[in-house]
Structure 1
Amino acid sequence: MKLSAAIPALLMILSVFNTYADAFNLNGMAGGGNYAVPVMSFAERRFKTVYKQKYDFSCGSATLASLLSFHYDDVVDEQAVFVDMYENGDKQKIQQQGFSMLDMKLYLERRGYLANGFKLNLDGLIEANAPAITIINNKGYLHFVIIKGISDSEVLVGDPAAGVKAFPRPDFERMWENRILFLIHDKQTLADNHFQDKAEWALRTKAPLDRMVDLNRDSLAAFNLLQPGRWDF
């Protein structure tokens, strides 16, 4: 399905879409009655701190919603972010190219945050001590993810398609073509609390396989999934 046709259809579907948690019943326990006990599989645990994207082209909204909900204690779902960015954005461009980092920046400004894209390496992000959204190229598949933590050997990623997982640093560096990080930079206390979280490192699965430059609005608008853009610094 073409993106231009899929987005309006998705907006209709999202208005009635609901999800339900799985449970199982325990019968015959002392005291009688049925008990619904929630069950969390290993796959579900991987999505404990990142929303699973509902559609192939909604990773941008799922990633941004995850960043706010699980790193900045500002709970919002993928649907709300998707609809807001689409309704307030350049609809024709979004239908052709998908959401850009500029769409994310403007959404966050409407919500009271200061955010921007930066040219920054992984060691610089460790010093900044803040989660960041970026785009990786996994075998030709361009995809928004959250960098949740970094060690000497691994990069902890929140992937709306695969959950929380860890890449060996050399593998991540190969997929991280443009070295662009999108950061909220006015909520450092919250960022400190939720970056390099030990509980998130425990959820990870092994994935197969002048230092900072502030980006301008035109650069952020060009940085999207279908047209990554060219970078000159």
Structure 2
Amino acid sequence: MKLDRQLCCGVATLFLVGNVMVAHAGQVAIFNRFGSFQVEAQSLQEKGWDRVVRQQYDFSCGSASVATLLTFHYQRETSEAEVFESMIRAGDAEQIQRHGFSMLDMKRYLDAQGLNSDGFRISLDDFIRIGVPAITMVNTAGYKHFVVVKGVDANNILIGDPAAGTQVVPKDHFESLWDGTVLGVREEIEIARKNFNNEQDWAVRPDSPLSVGVNRSSLGASLLTLPARNEMGR
């Protein structure tokens, strides 16, 4: 696909309005008739930022997406500031501040890091079959926004959104927002595949933390020592 200047409108909020993760971290006290115990909990909001670089400016979803791709999928630790400053210097600063970075800006940056990249128009099925992370654009009510596709399962697309963290999006909904283009890296394919569908990214849908907070063996031993119904006046 020939790369034109597909621009990211930085004021786009994530396409999952109403599904923003809100919770609080810390110790949670669980009470029952036998007493209480503490469970260490991390908020869903915090968990969603474990493996996504947050954009610092309204128009910087492109630089944050590149930093996310490099840091968490190609094992090249990269800050958004580093990408942002480099792409601003190499591009049209006035245009970027008005409309955001383009796929062409991001391609040039990745190429300069020795990661040959290209834009492709591709079906979702073919993209899933290839199985590597990539940057793509979604369009929400006219706002264009770059995100990283981090994984897929039978029914969902796993998105690293620099405005909202890691999100699990139903396939049908994703396709309604997606224009079918991706920016993909041609190099280091094995590293990319290893870091696609990473279980740490899918941890935004964790199991209950009770199994972590409770020592099952000691709980069982405690229950065995409880008085029976006919003991101690019960």
TM-score, scaled to structure 2: 0.67
Provide, for residues 5-46 of structure 1, a one-character-per-residue CA deviation record: whole Å limited to 9, x for no partner: xxxxxxxxxxxxxxxxxx99xxxxxxxxxxxxxx85321110
Query: What amino acid sits opposite 1:155 in the alignment?
Result: I
Pairing partner for 1:119 from 112, 118, 121: 121
Taking the aligned partners of 1:127 and 1:117, their CA distance within structure 2 comes to 17
Provide, for residues 106-157 of structure 1, a one-character-per-residue CA deviation record: whole Å limited to 9, x for no partner: 1111111100110111211122111011110123321100111112211110
- Which 4+ residue blocks in structure 1 deviate beyond 6 angstroms? none
Alignment-derived partner of residue 225 in structure 1:
none
* Percent sequence identity over aligned pairs: 42
Q: Is the 8 A contact 1:156 1:204 kept in 2?
A: no
Cα deviation, residue 89, structure 1: 1.3
Q: Is the 8 A contact 1:69 1:75 kept in 2?
A: yes
- Give the stretch that moved more between structures: 89-98 or 107-116: 89-98
Alignment-derived partner of residue 201 in structure 2:
200
Taking the aligned partners of 1:93 and 1:62, their CA distance within structure 2 comes to 18
Alignment-derived partner of residue 171 in structure 2:
169
Give the 3-state SS of the residue equivalent to 1:203 in structure 2. coil
Alignment-derived partner of residue 83 in structure 1:
85
- Give the stretch that moved more between structures: 182-191 or 92-101: 92-101
TM-score, scaled to structure 1: 0.68
Taking the aligned partners of 2:133 and 2:165, their CA distance within structure 1 comes to 16
Taking the aligned partners of 1:80 and 1:90, their CA distance within structure 2 comes to 17
Query: What amino acid sits opposite 2:154 in the alignment?
Result: D
Q: How do residues 124-139 of structure 1 correspond to structure 2 at under 5 angstroms?
A: 124-139=126-141
Taking the aligned partners of 2:202 and 2:97, their CA distance within structure 1 comes to 36
Q: Gaps (5+ residues) in structure 1?
A: 1-22, 25-38, 206-233
Superposition RMSD in Å: 2.1
Alignment-derived partner of residue 54 in structure 2:
52
Q: Gaps (5+ residues) in structure 2?
A: 1-24, 27-40, 207-234
Q: Is the 8 A contact 1:115 1:185 kept in 2?
A: yes
Q: Is the 8 A contact 1:53 1:59 kept in 2?
A: yes
Taking the aligned partners of 1:62 and 1:101, their CA distance within structure 2 comes to 13
Cα deviation, residue 201, structure 1: 1.4
Larger radius of gyration: 2
Alignment-derived partner of residue 185 in structure 2:
184
Cα deviation, residue 204, structure 1: 4.6
Q: Is the 8 A contact 2:59 2:97 kept in 1?
A: no
Taking the aligned partners of 1:40 and 1:204, their CA distance within structure 2 comes to 12
Give the 3-state SS of the residue equivalent to 1:112 in structure 2. coil
Taking the aligned partners of 2:138 and 2:42, their CA distance within structure 1 comes to 29
Q: Is the 8 A contact 1:149 1:156 kept in 2?
A: yes
Alignment-derived partner of residue 223 in structure 1:
none
